[in-house]
Structure 1
């Protein structure tokens, strides 16, 4: 395989990277669809796609839309899509959520993960719905509010003084007997569950297809370890699609941008604090990397100040978003990507 042509460097305070050949890459394999399973879950509803015409005009794009994941199954983020499908694949599989609940009834199972917030809460929520236990490992620096939200779902919370990557290792090392690890990043030897999580996220993009059937020119996705980004790339890198993909992440945790620029996975130091706690990840998921390497058009890192300003701007247009979701607008503002067609920002949380 030829090495993709890359451009990379610094623009002001930020690293950035592009791959000029990404649009021509076709994702291999057959993708799973989790949509029907999600539709069977209590409280399922399609999340809104909100047009923000005033911002489209100021940014010089054809139209601007926000796929708003600030309320998914009553939770403040999209993470439950991946966690629920992965739990189903690990403990079932079942065709419906009711069938899965019947399969696990009276089984002594503990769902285990490490989290920087929303994934852990989603897993604890699922454990409660299914009558299972959960144990959630928390890295250093996570604010008290998301930690309490995880406890409120009935989880056993294990607070650590570790980085996110080290908390993941601690959670994996703790698994024994009736524990089941549902981690949203992959490493050699642990790939099946993360693949299911990525497949679960596909529901978000399947909904987008129905909500905006005319086609989308650019989708901006918060990066993290790359699982949601992988789902986006695999969805849009299929024959006949012409959607570009931009990844957004903090300057203090730009593992996707640095890896895309280098052409190989790069681990970055994430000890510096950021308001984008859900994106404070230092290592790209191993299963996400091939899709990112070949199919991601561009990645850019943004500062906390830029993200905070973007969040205020979105709030002024009645879009509820947290810092990770607002990072998408900050990333768009930081680039010269201005398609004359539709741009969608994926607002991952509130």
Structure 2
């Protein structure tokens, strides 16, 4: 293992393996939701040529069930599993039946968010016809709050940052009759829902496998943005269970490097975060249930600046891929790998790279270099 200030390399991860898990029930659940369709996997041949590798693909999550993020895949499955358990229903229960029983029992959903997770929980509450209460950091901009509220949710503005919003949302759910806490951050005593949310992201990863197979290639490297680590957890579980294991790179804002600092320390650490245009990744603590697998299975972790992410957003817009800064971070990380001799082994002439673009285009203040 090696590390510098903004990068961590785990050479042992290349030989790690996991057993494959049957996720067909999750895929079938998503297919039954209104307007399900696989999101595009888009090739960037000119970028691949520039980098001297075989292929670069972008998984474009700018429109998932009409929402501008992959988050609804995890939130929907997490909500469904939490409700069926609370109601004593089987996992095979019909969504309409779950909705009817949730309404009759006066259940509600509570979550904290940097943006897209909360909007996804609010979306599911609307589908299920039950209330949602979403706690947000004090610094969240009004436009993002309004987008969450547009799904019918009540917005509770925290007095502090994301971690404070999580704590306040959890306390509210504990104190409120019929309120179910739906969070992608695991902590002591709260692990089931985050685990279900991670499982929900498997649908996106199975889609990628199928889309690559259609063009007769297999991935060598997948780049995943990191907030609390739930998506990256799903990515390492998937990639390290393939017949041909796929290397995993993670990317975080340089102002919120909770995974990188934890990997460097060899144990989970909480970091103080600062402002970044990568709002959905502005998290200070790695999810408890994600940590062990991320520690063992991530091949390389890197941080990027807001400006690097912004440059990537502009580049992708020129390729007709409209993403936000969290989505652009994956490309920014790939460019960072290309420029670093220590990560040269990740990329070769035959390499196929998949970049996860996790959000759609949104307004933000362009950073200075």
Q: TM-score range by the shorter chain?
A: over 0.9
The aligned residue for residue 283 of structure 2 is 281
Tell whether 2:330 aligns with 1:338. no
Q: CA RMSD in A?
A: 1.4
Gaps of 5+ in 1: 1-5
Match of 1:76, SS state, is coil
Q: CA deviation at 1:99?
A: 4.3
Match of 1:287, SS state, is helix
Gaps of 5+ in 2: 85-90, 339-345, 361-369
Tell whether 2:90 aligns with 1:81. no
Equivalences, count? 340
C-alpha distance in 1, partners of 2:126/2:314? 34
> Does the 8 Å contact 1:37/1:96 carry over to 2?
no
Match of 1:295 among 286, 289, 297: 297
Q: CA deviation at 1:187?
A: 0.4
Tell whether 2:238 aligns with 1:235. yes
> Does the 8 Å contact 1:220/1:344 carry over to 2?
yes
> Does the 8 Å contact 1:198/1:228 carry over to 2?
yes
Deviations 1:295-314 (A, max 9, x none): 00011000011111111001
C-alpha distance in 2, partners of 1:209/1:29? 13
Q: CA deviation at 1:143?
A: 1.6
C-alpha distance in 2, partners of 1:166/1:268? 13
C-alpha distance in 2, partners of 1:62/1:135? 46
Deviations 1:261-298 (A, max 9, x none): 2211121111x200000000010000000110110001
> Does the 8 Å contact 2:122/2:153 carry over to 1?
yes
The aligned residue for residue 36 of structure 1 is 28
Match of 1:55, SS state, is helix
The aligned residue for residue 61 of structure 2 is 69
C-alpha distance in 1, partners of 2:352/2:95? 35
Match of 2:251, SS state, is strand
Q: CA deviation at 1:238?
A: 1.4
> Does the 8 Å contact 1:251/1:302 carry over to 2?
yes
Deviations 1:49-101 (A, max 9, x none): 01111111112221011001000000000010001101111111345534433
Deviations 1:110-160 (A, max 9, x none): 100000000000000110111000000010221211110111111110012
